[in-house]
Each structure stands twice: as structure tokens, then as C-alpha cells.
Amino acid sequence: MDGGGAVAYIPIMKTIAILTSGGDAPGMNAAIRAVTRSALGREINVFGVRGGWQGLIDDRFMALNARDVGGIIQIGGTFLGSARSAEFRTEEGRSKALRNLCARGIDALVVIGGNGSQSGSAELHAMGFPVVGVASTIDNDLYGTDVTIGCDTAINVTVEAIDHLRTTGSSHTRAFLVETMGRDCGYLAMMAGLAGGAEVISVPESEVPAEEIARRLRAAYERGKTHAIVVIAEGVAENAARILSYFERHRGVVGFELRATTLGHVVRGAPPTAFDRLLATRLGVAALMSLADGVAGVLVGEQRGEITRTPLAEIANRTKPISTDLIELARVLAQ
């Protein structure tokens, strides 16, 4: 482990709290279950915080026992609830949260979430409270981990949608623009596009202009294809609606008839895949292990197949760039 910035503290841990924050992600429930049960196995009391950072400010705690986290491993979302809290971004909000943790006798906090959430973890940890982060977001843009809880499920939902759209596209000789989530990161769109055999994939890291999309679709049409799929990440400047309007202004340019589908939150709410359940379980247990080892102020993630701990101070306000290999792969395959 790279220990710079992480804070070791005396591991007399009697009570911990868990919260889920930011956009929910399939597998969060499995992570809550793993943290809770591994803590209870060490005779550590567990509280869940309802509604993310805002719930911490509003003192919304609930005691968790082994049965409370039963029957949830297969359910998407988070049974603790989540939120994006503007108040926690203020010093006053964070002080209130800290006061509530101390008043409840909580020794450490586990935060399951993505970028914004883990920046919050870094801030609270810097105030002297032991926090461990668990990497979870469908965007997979979190620094300090190769993979995040929820991303695999979101890719699979997007691929399933692509498969369905290709079927109907084939019947009608249509091209579909499919827009998926990912915020400013193209990972989700890129992986779904590759797995779905898309003709064009446009991501913020390598945006394909409308004229170029038109050229590639026209070429596919002239090669006799009966369908074509264009996967678009939500973070690009020319999103599906804009590209569609470009094609409406240049009728007939692509050959295919065109339709656009924006998947939006549909990709976030599915039951977690086995991969996400297992990742969540491993990272949840690893978070508790880190605290038991006396190491807080870190994000637990997975890098090159190994569980890793990266200092929160290193990951805060940073994002992980999409690999250039993937961009090259998409270019080669788009023929």
C-alpha cells in the first residue's frame, strides 16, 4: 500500500457507521451487507446512516444487525438511501456531521460511493475522523481503482438495450443513436459499445463529430448493413439529441432512417450482476479489514486484480482517464 496521506489510528473500534452517497450503484447493498457482517463477526456494532452525507448532518442513524442486511445482495440501489448534499460541502455542514458521529460514539465511518462522495470522505478524514472509502459508481471514473461497484451492471444493461435496438433496427433498416450515462467519463459508453458491436462510439475523451458519424453510417449503409448502432456518452458536447437534429437538417445523408434512445437512469437501477456482487463483497470486507488493521483515510479498490488501499487525499477531486488502448480498439473495430 502507498501509505502517504493515510492516517493510522489506535484500533480500539467498538462501533462503526456506514453510508452510501452520490448516485446509487448496483451492488451498494452487497457492500453494506459485507461491511456489516464482517464488523459484527468481530463484535463491532454497526449503524447505517440514512440518506448519505445529508443523513449524517440530520442525525439519521439506524442500528444494523445481521438480519437487517439479509435478502439484499441481489437488489440494486441502496436500502440506506443516498443523496447529493450541498450542506456537506460547507464547513458548517461537515462540523455538524462530525458532532453527530462523536455524540453517537462512532469510532469510524465507511463511505460507499464515487468521486464526489470520496472527496467528502477526504474532507471528513482531514478533520480527524477515521474514514474508509469503498469505490462505487457506475461511471468507473474513480482514481485509485481499476473498477468500481455498479459499472459492470450498467454496462450489461446498456449492452442489452443495444442488442434490442439492433434487432428492431434490422427489421426497419434503421440506425440508432444510443445515449448512456457516465457523466464526463466515456468508460461505460466505450465498454458497452465494444461489447455491443457498435459502428460508432463517441465519448468525451474522443468525440466523433456529427459529420464523421454521418460518413461512417453512410459507408455502413453502402456496404449493405441493415442496421447500425452509434453509442454516445452523455458527457460529449454533441449528444444524441443534437446529432439527431443535425441529421434532420441533412436529410438522406446517412442512408438509414434514424432514431435516438436515451437510456438515462435505466442503466443505474438494475439488479447487480454476479461480478458487481462479488466486487462489492470483497471491497466491503476489505474496508473493515483496513479499519481493523488501524488504517483509515484510504479508498479500498481493486488494481490489477489485487485489493488496494489508496490515500483519500490522493484521490480527492481527481478522475481516472479512460485508457487510450480502448479508444484505439474502438477505432480499429469501427469498420
Binding to ligand F6P (CB under 6 A): which residues in 183-202? 183
Beta carbon of residue 78, minimum distance to ligand F6P (angstroms, whole number): 13
Residue of 2, 58, 59, 139 marked catalytic: 139
Interface size with ligand F6P, residues (CB under 6 A)? 11
Identity (one letter) of the amino acid at 294?
A: G
Beta carbon of residue 296, minimum distance to ligand F6P (angstroms, whole number): 25
Binding to ligand F6P (CB under 6 A): which residues in 207-246? 234
What is the DSSP secondary-structure string of 186-255?
A: -HHHHHHHHHTT-SEEEBTTBPPPHHHHHHHHHHHHHTT-SEEEEEEETTSSS-HHHHHHHHHHTTTSSS
Q: Give the residue, chosen from 16, 138, 228, 287, that forms a contact with ligand F6P under the rule CB under 6 A.
A: 138
Cα-Cα-Cα-Cα torsion 88, 91, 94, 96, nearest 10 degrees, comes to -110
Among 88, 103, 92, 91, smallest CA distance to 19 is for 88
Show the site string, 94-133: x = touches ligand F6P by CB under 6 A, - = not. --------------------x-------------------
What is the DSSP secondary-structure string of 102-135?
A: HHTT--EEEEEE-HHHHHHHHHHHHTT--EEEEE
Q: Is 182 in the site for ligand F6P (CB under 6 A)?
A: yes
- Pairing, β 131-135 against β 298-303: parallel
Q: Is 81 in the site for ligand F6P (CB under 6 A)?
A: no
The 3-state secondary structure of 255-286 reads CCEEEEEECHHHHHCCCCCHHHHHHHHHHHHH
Residue owning grid cell 479508498: 299
- Which is nearer to ligand F6P, 205 or 234 (by Cβ)? 234
139 classed as catalytic: yes
Q: Is 83 in the site for ligand F6P (CB under 6 A)?
A: no
- Pairing, β 15-20 against β 131-135: unpaired
Q: Give the residue, chosen from 7, 17, 20, 23, that forms a contact with ligand F6P under the rule CB under 6 A.
A: 23
- Which is nearer to ligand F6P, 199 or 234 (by Cβ)? 234
The window from 55-63, 175-183, 302-310, 316-324 that contacts ligand F6P (CB under 6 A) reads 175-183
Beta carbon of residue 186, minimum distance to ligand F6P (angstroms, whole number): 11
Residue owning grid cell 488502448: 325
| Residues with catalytic roles | 139
| Residue ranges binding ligand F6P (CB under 6 A) | 23, 84, 114, 137-139, 181-183, 234, 268
